[in-house]
Amino acid sequence: MRERDKGRSVRGMSRRRMLGIGGALGLTAVTGLSTAAVLARRPPMTGAQLHSAVPLPPPFRVPLPIPAVLEPVDTSGGVDRYAITQREASVEVLPGIDTPMWTYEGTFPGPTIESRRGRPVEVAHRNELPVPSVVHLHGGRTPADSDGYPTDLVLPEGWRDATAHSAHGMDDPRAVVTELTRDYAFPMDQRATLLWYHDHRMDFTAPAIWRGLAGLHLVRDEAEDALGLPAGPRELPLMIADHAFTADGGLDYPSLDPTLRERPGVSEPYLAGVLGDVVLVNGAPWPVCEVDAARYRLRILNASNARHYELEAVDDEGRGLDLVQVGADQGLLAAPVTHRSLPIAPAERYDVVVDFSGVPVGGRVRLLNRLGSGRTGEVMAFRVARRAADDSRVPDTLATDLPSWRREDAVRVRDLTFRAGRMGEGHGWLIDGLPFDPARADVTTGLGDVEVWRLIADVHHPVHLHLVGFRVLSRRGGEPLPHDAGLKDTVALRPGEAVEIITRFEGYRGRFLFHCHNAEHEDMGMMANLEIV
């Protein structure tokens, strides 16, 4: 049976929602963030840029750091168990300057977890931060009780109201709240790919990620190992994120409540998204990486709150290098796709091979951002240091296990709009005209159902589905773009665009989410419940 669902079930809007996401959306009644104003600009990205008050270092001087791989504390019973403490730490981000950050294990990015497909992982998180936290494994095929629902808080010791599901008293009767620690269980029953973990606390996701709560999680398997792709030191994780700094080297962010305890939201100019003027890769500003004249596999994550990038690799003579895409958010493609430039929205991941063998020793390749200007037009550089043997390859066939869902398999088609709109007396970021309410079931589907979703945007919205991967069927009624290949969990909607995706809701029953991954939009209402029954 095929049906079209154009609406979502609506229950009474909570008092908290009428007041405007704890105050953040109510602010827009004063600031006047109108849909017309948002649509009038149609810029290459959505948001406003902060400007650092501290002198910034020259590009391509700081060596590229590689996040440490976390060792399990126990491996008995076929389960890898890890322990991570969330705590405040002073981190040297800009050379010679200490920056206070919120961290996983005292580092930014947090430590990387490497796991094997089918071997379960458990991570015990301890919250020593001054506010509640939530951990979401982005892209994880995870049961609902470990997926990091925004109200499933881990409270710091002595938090003044252990019954409150958020700092401002919003009630969610289904929330599972713990004090100080929580064990997250990840079955790892999923394709080899790059995931990432980050804070997902109700209404405060954006400033928490900005302050440093993000890390990588790699899933590997035998099929990927057998392909002969670049590996070892020639496989580089690259977490790209933009930030801004105060005069004393602290992180600048326009929070209405800098303590992140009571009032969520950002000041008026930044309601559409917060952009920084410093591009960090693995926590270093515009770093440089010494490489062999050989193929390298770049595992790229855009961990920015709101900034979009269009990446291009260019040598000192201005010649572009091919970016050979071998994987997307949810693992390997069926076959490689070659790009000269590659757009990447917040939370998207791309698995790319770059061949430096044609660059002379001593030569440099810059990774540029064609959507940036000035310093934000540069990302990092590679310096070719030596000739070296290279037995890696990029096979013509990469994966044979991609799902073959067809449009005619869908039991229903849904239209979902992602737009600025009115709420109460103000404006917010809404899905189908509604702000997020944990008490409302927005989309209900059956375990195993195949559905087609048509996602419609006003401005840029990178839309993320929890639990499942999906395929892009069309853009603007036409064919998907080359970078849409493979299995994804986040898709970039451009201004005025409609994108169709197809997926099967499988794995686990329970309450999950879909939302915009412009983190400021997410915090200001652009999130919805997905109930799998």
Task: Summarize pLDDT for 367-425 with one digit per residue, the tens.
Answer: 999 999 999 999 999 999 999 999 999 999 999 999 999 999 999 999 999 999 876 65
Q: For residue 116, how many other CB atoms are within 10 A of its CB?
A: 16
CA distance 140 to 143: 9
- Indicate if the pLDDT at residue 103 is higher than 90: yes
- Indicate if the pLDDT at residue 170 is higher than 60: no
- SS3 sequence of 155-182: ECCCCCCCCCCCCCCCCCCCCCCEECEE
Phi, psi of 75 (to 5 degrees): -130, 15
Residues of the chain with pLDDT > 90: what percent? 87
Exposure string for 320-347, b = 16+ CB within 10 A, e = fewer: ebebbbbbbbbbbbeebbebebbbbbbb
Answering whether pTM is above 0.85, one says yes
- What is the CB-side half-sphere exposure of residue 185 using CA atoms within 13 A? 5
CA dihedral 207, 209, 212, 214 (to 10 degrees): 170
Domains annotated on the chain, with CATH: 3-44+401-532 (2.60.40.420), 76-225 (2.60.40.420), 232-387 (2.60.40.420)
Beta strands in 295-403 (DSSP E): 295-302, 309-315, 320-321, 323-328, 331-339, 342-344, 349-355, 364-369, 378-387
For 347, residues 6+ apart whose C-beta sits below 8 A from its C-beta are 138, 196, 301, 302, 303, 462, 464, 490, 517
CA distance 157 to 169: 18
pLDDT band (50, 70, 90) for residue 42: very low
Exposure string for 77-93, b = 16+ CB within 10 A, e = fewer: eeebbbbbbbeebebeb
Mean pLDDT of 486-502: 97
Mean pLDDT of 65-91: 98
Q: 370: closest CA among 45, 38, 39, 42?
A: 45
pLDDT band (50, 70, 90) for residue 55: very high
Phi, psi of 515 (to 5 degrees): -165, 165
Token duo for residue 255: 């929070």
- Indicate if the pLDDT at residue 168 is higher than 50: no
Mean pLDDT over all residues of the chain? Answer: 91
Determine contact, residues 463/490, Cβ cutoff 8 Å.
yes
CA distance 58 to 316: 17
- Residue with token string 């580089």: 236
